[in-house]
Amino acid sequence: MKDNFFGREYDIAPAGGETGQAFVATHEDEKFFLKRNSSPFLAALSAKNIVPKLIWTRRVENGDVITAQKWINCHILTREEMVGPRVAKLLAKIHHSENLQHMLEKIENCYFSATQLLARLKAEISAKNEINTGMLDAIQYLEKNVSAVETTDYVVCHGDVNHNNWIISEENELFLVDWDGAMLADAANDIGMILYQYVPRADWNNWLSHYGTKLTNELHRKLKWYTIYQTVMQLTINQSEEAYERAKQIFQNAMEDDEV
Convert the pLDDT of each residue in 162-217 to its tens digit.
999 999 999 999 999 999 899 999 999 999 999 999 999 999 999 999 999 999 99
CB-CB contact of 161 with 194 (8 Å): yes
Query: Which distant-in-sequence residues (6+ apart) come within 8 Å of 67 by Cβ?
Result: 34, 35, 38, 42, 54, 56, 57, 58
Which residues form the catalytic set? Answer: 160
How far apart CA 226 and CA 190 sit, in angstroms, is: 8
pTM, whole model, 2 decimals? 0.90
232-247 average pLDDT score: 90
Every domain of the chain with CATH number 3.30.200 lies at 2-71
Note the pLDDT of residue 245.
93
User: For domain 76-255, is the CATH number 3.90.1200.10?
Assistant: yes
- Report the run of H or E that residue 157 belongs to, with start and end: strand 155-157
pLDDT at 56 over 90: no
Task: Give the three-class secondary structure for 69.
Answer: strand
Contact status, residue 222 vs residue 192, Cβ threshold 8 Å: yes
- Predicted local confidence at residue 222, as pLDDT: 98
In CATH, the architecture of 2-71 is 2-Layer Sandwich (3.30)
CATH 3.90.1200.10 location in the chain: 76-255
Q: What is the pLDDT of residues 106-164, one digit of tens each?
A: 987 789 999 999 999 999 988 877 678 888 999 999 999 999 999 989 999 999 999 99
